[in-house]
Structure 1
Amino acid sequence: MRRLPLDFPDDTTRRISHEAIDQALYIEAREALPRELTANLRTGRALRVPRARRSRPGKTFVVPTVMLKERPTEALDREIPGHWEGDLMLGLDSSAIGTLVERTTRFTMLLHLPRMADHGVEARVKNGPTLSGHGADVVREAITSSIKGVPQQLRRSLTWDQGAEMSQHVQLRLDTGMGVYVCDPQSPWQRGTNENTNSVLRQYFPKGTDLSLHSPDDLATVSATLNARPRKVLDWRTPHEAFERVLHAIQAAGATTG
């Protein structure tokens, strides 16, 4: 392409862009190249990736100060409790349940995220509330309501993925006093405790089912069941027992200093 002006400087009809070549090839092949052609491509890609998708900007709320590398190093070895991991479990028709897991004790809390009354009835209003029930404001309020039930000493950090439901992380930090950090894109292993917990929770909340049908009492029953399971990693204590030991230690320390 860049050679054509050198070989034919006076013939402007002999000009072409790589985009035109790509479009001609892929359109002729109905957007997918046959195997004999892909073998000659450097990428070996049979399907064309639109330029708009390649250049899609990152999420605007993800700033360097909330990336996982900024999380306190004390969270890594799990010796100090109070560092949480969170996520959304998604179900049929955009239903969801929020999950919070404490890294040291594996104690789990579930967030009830019911759909709003107008879900499926009214058209989505631009910049309006997320009617599915797991918009940023609803998730922030649900996390705040649940996490404020534990002492401030156990609200050290929260690690989440880069979902839009965490776009109000600044307000969440103000509401809870807890540092909020997000993982790198497509890196679920950076929330390994939460991922493992979610896989167990799928026994109770299967994929492809409507998660909005579960009441707060249902979620409380499941989380109590999960927290009552003895865990090898906890020397066969349950998450509930491990969490209670931490709470007693905090109370004892407060009584001593008082």
Structure 2
Amino acid sequence: MAGVGGDRASRGRVRLAAERRRYFDLVAEGVGTVEACRIVGVGRRTGHRWRHGRPSRAGANARPAPARPGPGSDRFLSVEERIAIADGLATGRSQRAIAAELGRSPSTVSREIARNTPPAGGYRPHAAHDLARARRPRPKTGKIAACPELRERVQAMLGEKFSPEQIARRLRRDHPDRPELHVTHETIYQALYVQGRGELRRELARALRTGRARRKPRAGQQRRPRFAEPMAMISDRPAEAADRAVPGHWEGDLIIGKDNASAIATLVERTTRYVLLVPLPRGRGAEAVRDALAATAATLPAHLQRSLTWDQGSEMGRHHEFTIATGIPVYFCDPHSPWQRGSNENTNGLLRQYFPKGTDLSAHTPEHLAAVAAQLNRRPRKTLDWDTPAERLANLLTTTT
């Protein structure tokens, strides 16, 4: 059987790679090594070398090969994938092509080759697999625990109430040529909170500005409801509002004045970009905003009272009462997602030309607010093919009539 394989060198790299892939396909289907070698047409010693990283050695003196895991987690490359990488390199294929065949990221293949190719060159899949396995066991000794000087410096800076980020930045700046003293702020946090409590003195955790001796878990926490009454989210808003096909869907927000002491409510109709400015002489509390918006909504034609989209500001705490009074449902944007009411955000930027930040907005009378809104509504808009919001709204009202 040993002679079946013939002269391996004469077969060529391309054919050898194809034989190896065929061999592993058979093994994956449950075919034994001997039978797989016979079908492929290679020697038994070659099959054993492919599968176990060594030729078969019969006899009492043969040492058992170290146990090799199966494919394991998809997170890690398997030995079969490393063999495919070696075959691809031997046949001159690009790393990107190899990655595509394996269904892996090109950076995964590139990193594998860079990490596990010996200095002398020549990527060897089984040696690479053993190197990767040797690096994998956890826990490992942390960098701070492994370097007494680094540990002492970090402890001293924590004692001076430096934050971990300040420590990391300062060490890198003061010792640019000493990588053993370079550490990330997350490594310091890990040493304080996670890694055995021994790398940094336990009491140093209390020097952090949070004052916590234990890290506060955040993953998996549920966000508290913003208001007592259930909110309808923007994902529940009718599709006609999203595509701006039907008028009557509004976006709203507040612009805030000096020292957060005054505010103006702004409303923008999504289809026409028509602007309404709502004075808030009683402040921006939930009740005052509810009453001011309800009074403004009462001046609108019925077909322009379809919905209102707002962010999750506390001024909309009485949103359910506004809906009861006007029949207009209120939809709320997701947290930290101002682009979900982009027309209103853009309009608020334009309004700062009239109401600069840091000024007292309560000084503007309702008449002045109406004049500013009228001027904005007379501006031609690129998004409206250079029509003005006033013209678009007038056309809508005429058509409806």
TM-score category, normalised to shorter length = 0.7 to 0.9
Partner of 1:137: 287
Q: Which amino acid in structure 2 is aligned with residue 72 of structure 1?
A: P
Q: 1:192 aligns with which of 338, 342, 345?
A: 342
What does 1:1-258 correspond to in 2, within 5 Å?
Answer: 28-30=159-161, 32-33=163-164, 34-35=167-168, 36=171, 39-41=184-186, 57-61=224-228, 63=230, 65-94=231-260, 95-114=262-281, 116=282, 133-251=283-401
Point out where structure 2 has 5 or more consecutive residues left out of the alignment. Answer: 1-154, 172-181, 191-207
Q: Greater helix percent: which structure?
A: 2
| Aligned partner of residue 383 in structure 2, secondary structure | helix
| Aligned partner of residue 30 in structure 1, secondary structure | coil
Please give the root-mean-square deviation of Cα atoms over the aligned residues, in Å.
2.8
Partner of 1:128: none
Partner of 1:125: none
Question: Cα offset for 1:44?
Answer: 7.6
Q: Which amino acid in structure 1 is aligned with residue 352 of structure 2?
A: R
Distance 2:326 2:157 in 1: 52
Contact 1:62 1:162 in 2 (8 A): no
Q: Which amino acid in structure 2 is aligned with residue 223 of structure 1?
A: A
Question: Cα offset for 1:153?
Answer: 1.2
Partner of 1:13: none
Distance 1:26 1:168 in 2: 49
Distance 1:165 1:53 in 2: 30
Contact 1:38 1:44 in 2 (8 A): no
| Aligned partner of residue 93 in structure 1, secondary structure | helix
Distance 1:228 1:241 in 2: 8
Q: Greater strand percent: which structure?
A: 1
| Aligned partner of residue 181 in structure 1, secondary structure | strand
Distance 1:242 1:25 in 2: 67
Question: Cα offset for 1:40?
Answer: 5.0
Q: Structure 1 residues 91, 27: CA separation in 2 closer, same or farther (over 3 Å shift)?
A: farther
Question: Cα offset for 1:202?
Answer: 0.4
| Aligned partner of residue 236 in structure 1, secondary structure | coil
Q: What does the per-residue CA deviation read over 1:103-142, in whole Å, with 9 as the maximum and x for residues that have no partner?
A: 000000001012x4xxxxxxxxxxxxxxxx0011111111
Larger Rg: 2
Larger relative contact order (Cα-Cα within 8 Å, sequence gap ≥ 6): 1
Using structure 2 for the length normalisation, give the TM-score.
0.48
Distance 1:145 1:25 in 2: 62
Using structure 1 for the length normalisation, give the TM-score.
0.73
Q: Structure 1 residues 196, 28: CA separation in 2 closer, same or farther (over 3 Å shift)?
A: same
Contact 2:229 2:320 in 1 (8 A): no
Q: What does the per-residue CA deviation read over 1:54-87, in whole Å, with 9 as the maximum and x for residues that have no partner?
A: 6784423473x51110111111111100100000
